[in-house]
Amino acid sequence: MKRIAIITGASSGIGEAFLRLLSGGEKFDGIGDIDEIWIVARRIDKLTQIKSELSDDRIRTFAADVTKPEGMSALGSVLEYERPVVGLLINCAGVGFKGRVIDMRKDVTADTLNLNCVALGNLTGLCLPFMRSNETTRIINIGSSAGFLPQPGFAAYAASKAFVISYSRALAEELRSERITVTTICPGPVRTDFQSKATGGRTAEFTGLRKYVSADAGKLARASLKAAGKGRRMLVYKFSQKALHLASRLLPVSVFMFFERRMAE
Ligand SMILES: NC(=O)c1ccc[n+]([C@@H]2O[C@H](COP(=O)([O-])OP(=O)(O)OC[C@H]3O[C@@H](n4cnc5c(N)ncnc54)[C@H](OP(=O)(O)O)[C@@H]3O)[C@@H](O)[C@H]2O)c1
């Protein structure tokens, strides 16, 4: 039976970095052999371009909006028909919109939660029946250090990533006796198109402190595959974010809100 990897959000950024690593022939302990890599995103031109650049016959493109029932059912039908083992599921597609809630378009919260939370949960549910295997299978969910604390000016995004962290931890525990592991990845800023999209094109670069702590997508993807291969439940990526994680567990939220307010002033 063929063993596949599914990567959502593979048309750019971190998802594309995962694809490049898996396609590059590098072996990752605990990940196992992959016969096909199914890459999912809305921009088929980008997926096709990356596939032809990598010239890897194992790559299959799926143009799908995973927030839409038809996008999810298109994937579901192929899974049902071909019945592969999903050896690796990487839920990477995600979006965020910066700004005060009062100033944003009204459906911004729905757009954020539908992709970052609902689609992630639905796709996981779709794949789980295909993940039972003699060899351990892996789920990687891309969270964010934004999920550690409420974030004024990025409220829906931070809340959506808090969901990813909580959901993934609970799922990992539910699957404890199965040979399926769930690894939540929590990076801080990563140099991708994300920032430009989040600010409606106003800034493509991170500014202030974020500029100095921003991470490379390829290095993050490599660290994530290593963590998943070991069955780790969580990877908080880079020292700065580990420090933030620890502080978020030790200090009251009001302390962080105070500093956020001061910085905004
Ligand atoms: N970059 C950062 O600073 C950062 C930090 C922490 C966590 N993250 C998380 O990392 C993940 C990847 O983000 P990134 O930085 O790589 O940003 P990115 O380059 O903007 O990638 C986002 C990906 O999601 C896909 N996508 C968006 N809407 C979709 C939909 N409705 N259906 C299917 N695919 C969709 C996009 O493809 P199409 O547009 O072609 O559909 C794209 O491939 C996200 O979950 C993000 O929250 C990013």
From ligand 1's centre to the CA of 83, what distance in Å? 27
Does the structural domain 3-264 have CATH classification 3.10.129.10?
A: no
Q: Which two tokens stand for residue 33?
A: 């052999």
pLDDT of residue 44: 98
Alpha carbon dihedral 1, 71, 164, 113, in 10-degree steps, equals -170
Q: Which atom of ligand 1 is nearest to 67's Cα?
A: 31
Q: Is 184 near ligand 1, meaning CB less than 6 Å away? A: no
Picking from 54, 74, 52, the residue whose alpha carbon sits closest to that of residue 8 is 74
- Residue 207 in this model has a pLDDT that exceeds 80: no
**Mean pLDDT, range 65-72, rounded to an integer:** 97
What are the pLDDT digits (tens) for 76-132?
999 999 999 999 999 999 999 999 999 999 999 999 999 999 999 999 999 999 999
**Mean pLDDT, range 61-66, rounded to an integer:** 98
Task: List the strands of the sheet with 137-142, edge to edge.
Answer: 59-63, 36-41, 3-8, 85-91, 137-142, 180-187, 234-237
Instruction: Identify the band that residue 25 occupies on the pLDDT scale cut at 50, 70 and 90.
Output: confident
Q: What is the mean pLDDT of the chain?
A: 96
In the chain the beta strands, taken as DSSP E runs, fall at: 3-8, 36-41, 59-63, 85-91, 137-142, 180-187, 234-237
From ligand 1's centre to the CA of 94, what distance in Å? 4
From the candidates 81, 157, 212, 237, which is the catalytic residue?
Answer: 157
What are the pLDDT digits (tens) for 156-169?
999 999 999 999 99
Show me where the domains of the chain are located.
3-264
Instruction: Identify the band that residue 206 occupies on the pLDDT scale cut at 50, 70 and 90.
Output: confident
Q: Is 158 near ligand 1, meaning CB less than 6 Å away? A: no
- pTM value is 0.97
Residue 213's H or E segment, with its range, is helix 209-213
Q: CB–CB of 103/152 below 8 Å?
A: no
**Mean pLDDT, range 48-58, rounded to an integer:** 97
Residue 157 a catalytic site member: yes
- Residue 34 in this model has a pLDDT that exceeds 90: yes
Q: Which residue has the tokens 């921003």?
A: 214
Q: Is 224 near ligand 1, meaning CB less than 6 Å away? A: no
User: Cα angle vertex 10, ends 65, 209, to 5°?
Assistant: 110
What are the pLDDT digits (tens) for 238-262?
999 999 999 999 999 999 999 888 8
